[in-house]
Amino acid sequence: MNCVDDFRLRLAGRELVPIVIGGMGVDISTAELALEAARLGGIGHISDAMVPTVSDRRFKTRFVKDKLKLYKYNVANTDKSDVRFDLGHLAEATRLHVGRTMAEKRGDGMVFINCMEKLTMNAPKETLRVRLSAALDAGIDGITLAAGLHLGSFSLIEYHPRFRHAQLGIIVSSLRALQLFLRKNARLDRLPDFVVIEGPLAGGHLGFGMDWAEYDLATIVTEIREWLQAEELNIPLIPAGGIFTGGDATAFLEQGAAAVQVATRFTVARECGLPEDVQQEYFRASEQDIEVNGISPTGYPMRMLKSSPAIGDGIRPNCEAFGYLLDSAGRCGYIEAYNREVAKHPEAKKVAVIDKTCLCTHMRNFECWTCGHYTYRLKDTTRRRGDGGYEILSAQHIFHDYQFSKGDTIALPPDGDSSP
């Protein structure tokens, strides 16, 4: 019987362990987690979601405070079109986050950054160009374009000196999305170096509608692989979403996948950014505790624990400090939902908003507990502690379980000690 270690991912003339830890914003896939994946010979992702906030937390910068100070006059205003990101600060925050991470990289693997198009930041083109360029400037090994079709993203960086050398890939959830991307970028004569195919069981935002349950990752992978073969295009394919064991991963590799992208298993790693009490919620979750809902203002369905504090909270929109989801006209679905509730209950000190959430604030504070479909199986990957909680695992333990375990087996951490 094969295991993941019998395969290698060939990328940029190198041979890597074919395990990619997916990007998890906001700073859930920390630099520490990504660096472990690289040290172990695979690929880890940091995320550029809300990077000024992440920089403030990691490097004691003051980007958020300064922005809030500048726009304080607008806090009670329902019109957020004034709120702009300082592009210089955005570049500086990205360079700090990426630069410091890359400086610490050890081992034969790579570190990529996950860039979500849906973070429109009140100036979609300009802010995305700065984020992509600054990440390349700071030496990131590769960029994974996420949460959006990214039809114009390659052209934003086509004159960057690293455009043809850095590893650039995209996440799609359908053949159609990939076809659109390739057609729109044909003039650049630059194919993506890899394509992550994310199925309906993934964590975070889903590239499907609320009918996500009607789709199946293996079918989409086959469809894309056969089309690429017919077009004589050779692009490494990386399935993602619900790949929970080494055996699951091996099955995709045996069918021709170049690597797998995984995330949920690593939400309970010591190196992951989630606070430990939230990690215990992930461990405790049962299948019934997980839902796909429409509360994200991005318009994409999102999978999360039903007990997420973000659900039903009615805080005032926090766009002067954050504002990452404002569209080019300064609108966000949460602002509309919040204003509607305030108008309905003018006397209320605090309103409840059920249909949308202030995603920036809640992701920033680890209060939106997004997770993959199989989160309810995390409890089977560790041991119970004497106090009833679950042992937090090392990223190395989880990585090696994917790399070496066969079939349905999941390796438990050594008894009484979750260290590698």
Ligand X SMILES: Cc1cc2nc3c(=O)[nH]c(=O)nc-3n(C[C@H](O)[C@H](O)[C@H](O)COP(=O)(O)O)c2cc1C
CB 369 → ligand X: shortest distance, Å? 8
| Interstrand relation of 14-16 and 19-21 (parallel, antiparallel or unpaired) | unpaired
* Interface with ligand X, residue 146, by CB under 6 A: yes
**Helix or strand (DSSP H, E) at 87:** helix 87-103
* 144 in Cβ contact with 112 (< 8 Å): yes
Tokens 């908003």 — which residue?
A: 353
Distance CA 7, CA 116 (A): 29
Q: Which of residues 256-275 bind ligand X (CB under 6 A)?
A: 261-264, 267
| Number of C-beta neighbours around residue 387 at 10 A | 5
CB 196 → ligand X: shortest distance, Å? 7
Of 93, 123, 147, 278, the one binding ligand X (CB under 6 A) is 147
Of 18, 23, 247, 330, the one binding ligand X (CB under 6 A) is 23
CA-based Rg of the chain, rounded to a whole angstrom? Answer: 21
Distance CA 233, CA 236 (A): 10
Distance CA 336, CA 332 (A): 7
Of 171, 253, 259, 269, the one binding ligand X (CB under 6 A) is 171
Name which of 122 and 261 has its Cβ closer to ligand X: 261
Name which of 146 and 166 has its Cβ closer to ligand X: 146
Of 243, 311, 368, 395, the one binding ligand X (CB under 6 A) is 243
* Listed ranges 58-66, 130-138, 241-249, 402-410: which one lies at the site for ligand X (CB under 6 A): 241-249
**Peptide bond preceding 26: is omega within 30 degrees of 0, i.e. cis?**
yes
Distance CA 115, CA 97 (A): 13
CB 178 → ligand X: shortest distance, Å? 15
Name which of 173 and 314 has its Cβ closer to ligand X: 173
Residues 197-216: x/- map of binding to ligand X (CB under 6 A)? -x--xxxx------------
DSSP code at position 192 = -
Distance CA 127, CA 339 (A): 27
* Interface with ligand X, residue 116, by CB under 6 A: yes
CB 79 → ligand X: shortest distance, Å? 28
Q: Which of residues 296-355 bind ligand X (CB under 6 A)?
A: none
Distance CA 133, CA 276 (A): 34
DSSP code at position 111 = E
Name which of 171 and 325 has its Cβ closer to ligand X: 171
Distance CA 142, CA 253 (A): 22
CB 112 → ligand X: shortest distance, Å? 11
* Interface with ligand X, residue 132, by CB under 6 A: no
CB 274 → ligand X: shortest distance, Å? 7
Name which of 166 and 274 has its Cβ closer to ligand X: 274
* Interface with ligand X, residue 114, by CB under 6 A: yes
Furthest C-alpha separation in the chain: 66
Of 11, 50, 132, 240, the one binding ligand X (CB under 6 A) is 240
**Given CA atoms 206, 309, 378, 47 in this order, what sign does their dihedral have?**
positive
CB 140 → ligand X: shortest distance, Å? 15
* Interface with ligand X, residue 28, by CB under 6 A: yes
Name which of 235 and 262 has its Cβ closer to ligand X: 262
* Listed ranges 18-26, 52-60, 62-70, 221-229: which one lies at the site for ligand X (CB under 6 A): 18-26
* Interface with ligand X, residue 279, by CB under 6 A: no
Task: Kindly tell me the burial class for residue 349, based on how many C-beta atoms sit within 10 Å of its own C-beta (0-12, 13-18, 19 or more).
Answer: exposed
Distance CA 159, CA 177 (A): 25
DSSP secondary structure of 35-79: HHHHHTTSEEEEE-TTHHHHHHHHH---HHHHHHHHHGGGTT-S-
* Interface with ligand X, residue 357, by CB under 6 A: no
CB 29 → ligand X: shortest distance, Å? 7
Distance CA 64, CA 267 (A): 26
Distance CA 238, CA 198 (A): 8
* Listed ranges 174-182, 237-245, 334-342, 398-406: which one lies at the site for ligand X (CB under 6 A): 237-245
CB 145 → ligand X: shortest distance, Å? 9
- Positions that interact with ligand X (CB under 6 A): 22-25, 28, 47, 49, 114, 116, 146-147, 171, 198, 201-204, 240-243, 261-264, 267, 370-372, 374
